[in-house]
Amino acid sequence: MPSCVNPVPSAQENMGHYTGLIDKYRDRLPVSADTPVISLNEGATPLIELRNLPRLSGRNVRIYAKFEGLNPTGSFKDRGMTMAVSKAVEAGAKAVICASTGNTSAAAAAYAARAGITCFVLIPEGKIALGKLSQAMMHGSVVIQIRGNFDDGMRLVQEIARTMPVNVVNSVNPYRLQGQKTIAFEVIEALGDAPDYHALPVGNAGNITAHWIGYSESAGADTLALRHPEGMRDYRRHKIAERRPIMLGYQASGAAPIVRGRPVENPETVATAIRIGNPVSWQQALAAQHESGGWFGECTDEEILHAQKLLAQTEGIFCEPASAISLAGLLKDLGLGTIGEGSTIVCTLTGHGLKDPDTAIAQSAKPLTVDAELKAIEQVIQQHLPK
Ligand code: F0G
């Protein structure tokens, strides 16, 4: 492992070439010229307008997907991790630790590798998607599987950090949310203002909090979602939006503590990324909901998988099951008529579908196997050509 970190050139030195979100938004992030920037050029993900689904929903709305699966490790976690690991290195940390349902561990492992520091990850045994596990392993982190769930891991990590020289990079680390808030800046830049609604999955509730902090700062507004205002400068003078969106947070029915108003002891869902029963940022998520006039809703595993397939097969966008709940929930609310006609809605698609190949394969048509002969192929084509 390298023993020191090479200084990364700033955006200016790169002649305008995109070098990640810390360089782009350093005027709105708690970094200084001396902060070592540990970046994989995360952020700047595409905002894709959905073409077919709005029509299928029967409503006159514009729906955009902010495809966070196109970050370097395949999820939105890279936004928070570039900040958390940069600040950890700045503070002299030699090791970071996180509990994870998979994506945080993949991002922590990658950014720690880039920084040349050690990474420990606690994951629930047998409950993380294959792609995420392969990332944590391949980037050389110390992977600790626990016979317990994410909530157990989260509790243990916070206890361990009190006695061991490890820096926690879960979203209890305020720098994580600072990095993740940049998604709101990008949406506003793309649309010219905030959308009417912003829908996203809610697990540990850090991301909805971060979205809301980003939107609030951008509109020059206060929010109770910012838990560590003393450590963070006041970025509200960077007003780039006239308004804030209504926030829609969706949880899986088997792991819906915020919807139910009480912790869930044994959370279960096919969307393993959000298999969480006692979210750390619960109160901040409620602040986002209250201040935005939004709501929380739940979707069954069937609804989640249906939305994942719809996105893949009608829009060409492959996201992981947890991400698809943004759309699943939105379609439900569109059906109920709770979202006004003519609205603009952004759905955060938090992670790439390739993260969880097992779930994708299990719900798809099996490949056809035929002899390597022209006739056999022709027959299959005949059967499948549109009539
Ligand atoms: N979507 C995906 C793909 C996730 O990985 C997560 C969280 C969420 C949504 C929910 O975000 O926790 O901020 O409310 N994954 C964490 C992890 C818990 O360990 O990777 P949240």
| For residues 165-181, average pLDDT | 96
| Cβ of 271 below 6 Å from ligand 1 | no
Q: Distance from the CA of 322 to the center of ligand 1, in angstroms?
A: 8
The model's pLDDT over 96-126, given as tens digits with 9 standing for 90+, comes to 999 999 999 999 999 999 999 999 999 999 9
Q: Distance from the CA of 103 to the center of ligand 1, in angstroms?
A: 7
Q: Give the residue whose CA is nearest to atom 9 of ligand 1.
A: 201
Asked if residues 317 and 352 have their Cβ atoms less than 8 Å apart, the reply is no
Model's pTM, two decimal places?
A: 0.95
Residue 3 binned pLDDT confidence (cut-offs 50, 70, 90): very low
| For residues 147-156, average pLDDT | 97
Residue 230 binned pLDDT confidence (cut-offs 50, 70, 90): low
| For residues 65-81, average pLDDT | 98
Going by C-alpha positions, the residue among 298, 300, 317 that lies closest to residue 308 is 317
| Cβ of 128 below 6 Å from ligand 1 | no
Strand arrangement of the beta sheet that strand 167-168 belongs to: 142-146, 118-124, 95-99, 167-168
| Cβ of 207 below 6 Å from ligand 1 | yes
Give dist(CA 196, CA 193) in Å, integer.
9
* Amino acid (1-letter code) at residue 68: E
Give dist(CA 269, CA 331) in Å, integer.
19
Q: Does the structure show a pLDDT above 90 at 128? A: yes
Closest ligand 1 atom to 106 CA: 20
